[in-house]
Structure 1
Amino acid sequence: MSNLSTTSDEILNCAQKLIIAGGYNGFSYADIAVAVGIRKPSIHHHFPAKADLVRTLVARYRENAEASFLEIEQKVPDAFELLNVYANYWEQCIEDASIPFCLSALLASELPVLPQEVAVEVRAYFRFLSTWLTAVMERGGKQGTLSLTTSPSAEAETFMATIHGAMLSARAYGKSDVFGTVLKSSLERLRPR
């Protein structure tokens, strides 16, 4: 979404931090106005309603993930190492608190109360992530770089759930190292024998 203005980007970046800290209903345009240093009407100019803002944010989040995964895949052809890179990314984000939780995972926990247009984008993110992980699992099975005990799609869903569950555990315990502890056994299970 390169056509967004700098102000739009600042609003989206602020909204992401606020959502990760307190969920969809945990922030208002007034909170963003104070943090970004603009007036509420300026936010409404860019995003007429909160649902527009969060829908755009989740779409941008997915697009950024798609671009990042494509870039990483060009550098890391080994499927097992690719899963390690993905897990290490999240471990670092949780440890340094730069992105302590996946935006889409947090919003998925709120799906029953989200506006429909936001829910559609959250589901699109999960479909994208599942498709990508399934392709990695398939490739790893063919390469012999992953040891799969079920279908690639089941392995992908299990790995995705483990990543998000490990984030939740790290948050619940207030200890970033919990994420790595949970992921270690999941990765070891996939390590080729």
Structure 2
Amino acid sequence: MTQKTSPKALEIIDQARLLIANGGYNGFSYADIAKTLGVTNASIHYHFPAKADLVKAVVIQYRTQSHHHLALASVEDDDPVRLLRLFVGFWEHCLREGPLPFCICVMLASELPLIPDAVADEVQGHFDDLSGWLTEVMAQGQARGLLELRAGPKVEARILMTLVHGSMISARAARDPALYGAVALACVAAAFGRSAKRPDISRNALSRPPGKFARMPVCRHAGPRLPHDLKFPSSGMPQ
């Protein structure tokens, strides 16, 4: 476990995360990482004997960072509606400005029948973590009369996750990052239309820098660049 937290291991994890976001579990090999980092396959195997070990470490890091920053957001801002708006706007900010173009857990979830159980368990854990946080935020909004939830906080949390992740997939399918904002905005406007106190869901509101959410390393990934043979098309979205 110590070797997996060494600077070199963290560098490998960072590069793997970027490659997973663009191609999924089966979209990269140790050779891709070795070429970009200028190391040998053997040195990667030293830190992560199997690909499943590496991807599991990537998702564990992703979960840890996400959990920390969502908890921090709740401490710094006690307005449930604003937290929900920031959550939706977070990925628009990432898709538009951040070098990580997709949620790695959404990407890996699409491969769940084919990826190792150890990785699948961590991916499911991420969605459970996110659902738990959104459920708590929605419950607070309902208790304070800010949201009217027809299906209850837990189901509405899953609905919002579906809207956000589905919008992300639509944007990727269209090879147009801007589509996320257009789709998510319309969906969330419809969902929030039954709020007791309607939140600010204008495009300007969603386009504001999302503050504490923008500090999340899952978005602001200043790590390695893509290998030369894995380029974005002119629209900015991966193939």
Query: With structure 2 as the length reference, what TM-score do the two structures score?
Result: 0.77
Contact 2:55 2:119 in 1 (8 A): yes
Aligned to 2:120: 119
Aligned to 2:157: 156
* Residue-by-residue CA offset, 1:121-159 (whole Å, 9 max, x unaligned): 111111111111111111111122223221111100000
Question: RCO higher in 1 or 2 (8 Å CA, sep ≥ 6)?
Answer: 2
Deviation at residue 38 of structure 1 after TM alignment:
1.0
Letter in 1 for 2:118: E
> Which stretches in structure 1 are left out of the alignment for 5+ residues?
none
Distance across 2 between alignment mates of 1:76 and 1:144: 17
Contact 1:78 1:145 in 2 (8 A): no
Structure 2 counterpart SS, 1:172:
helix
Aligned to 1:141: 142
Deviation at residue 97 of structure 1 after TM alignment:
4.5
Aligned to 2:30: 29
Contact 2:21 2:107 in 1 (8 A): yes
Moved over 6 A (4+): none
> Which stretches in structure 2 are left out of the alignment for 5+ residues?
199-239
Aligned to 1:20: 21
Letter in 2 for 1:159: L
Aligned to 2:170: 169
| Aligned 1:35-184 pairs, distance under 5 A | 35-184=36-185
Structure 2 counterpart SS, 1:111:
coil
Distance across 2 between alignment mates of 1:14 and 1:74: 31
Query: With structure 1 as the length reference, what TM-score do the two structures score?
Result: 0.94
- 181-190 vs 6-15, which deviates more? 181-190
Alpha-carbon RMSD across the aligned residues, in angstroms, is: 1.6
